[in-house]
Amino acid sequence: MKRIGGVLLVLVVCAAPAIAAKPPPKPPKGNPNLTIGSSASAVTFGRTVTLSGTAKNTAAGTAVEAQANPFPYSGFKSTGKTSVVDPNGNYSIPGVVVSMNTQFRVSAKTSPPSESAAVFVRVRLRVSFKVSDSTPKRGALVRFSGRVAPAHDGKPVLIQKKTASGYKTVARTTMVDNGSATSKYSKRVKIRRSGTYRVIAESVDQDHQNGTSRARILKVH
């Protein structure tokens, strides 16, 4: 508050609203006779999925192409992955790469071509995690470090310890440059008691989901 010319001026600061994650657009309903499913609704970066479904009233041997619409969802394009309809009217397309949050559909090469509805697959950041000492002395500083893929420089990293009520954040740091493919992080944490720790890499952006490392046990002696 500030008094100007006998008038009390009250300054009101409004917090900027949080930016909600952008959902994928609703695709056309697609041909109900051509279905699609994914082997996973969410994967860690670097993993693939298998797209499969049925193609009713479609001749065996008809080609089926996987198409992707990744963030920022500007349109479907071929993934280069194809399969054919088997005699039972089924198809399966393994090894489809998912590098970011993506909608998938399939196109049956009939005349005219037929498209399925879409399935959405989320992609989590991949987080590695190592410690400088897994059996530290009580009160020693232990360095927590690792890499995050793909690169998300400047985004938050949470170091968490397991408690009776779940994981609790005990330290924070940020991802820093480690080249074009990955980011890295490093933080020294004072360890007073034995415990189980993990690391959360927060995407913040809308192209990926937060990533969680595997847990590590530190035993104080």
Could you tell me how far CA 177 lies from the centroid of its own chain?
19
Evaluate the omega torsion of the peptide bond into residue 136 and state whether it is cis, within 30 degrees of 0.
no
Residues 29-88 pLDDT 10s = 889 999 999 999 999 999 999 999 999 999 999 999 999 999 999 999 999 999 999 999
Number of C-beta neighbours around residue 193 at 10 A: 10
pLDDT at 12: 37
pLDDT at 23: 66
- Average pLDDT along the chain: 91
Residues of the chain with CATH 2.60.40.10: 37-124, 126-218
Query: Is the pLDDT at 8 greater than 80, yes or no?
Result: no
The band of 18, judged by pLDDT with boundaries at 50, 70 and 90, is very low
pLDDT at 29: 84
Query: Is the pLDDT at 6 greater than 70, yes or no?
Result: no
Superfamily of domain 37-124, CATH level 4: Immunoglobulins (2.60.40.10)
Share of the chain above pLDDT 70, in %: 89
CATH number of 126-218: 2.60.40.10
CA atoms within 13 Å, Cβ hemisphere of 207: 12
pLDDT at 121: 97
Query: Is the pLDDT at 207 greater than 50, yes or no?
Result: yes
Q: What is the mean pLDDT of residues 86-113?
A: 97
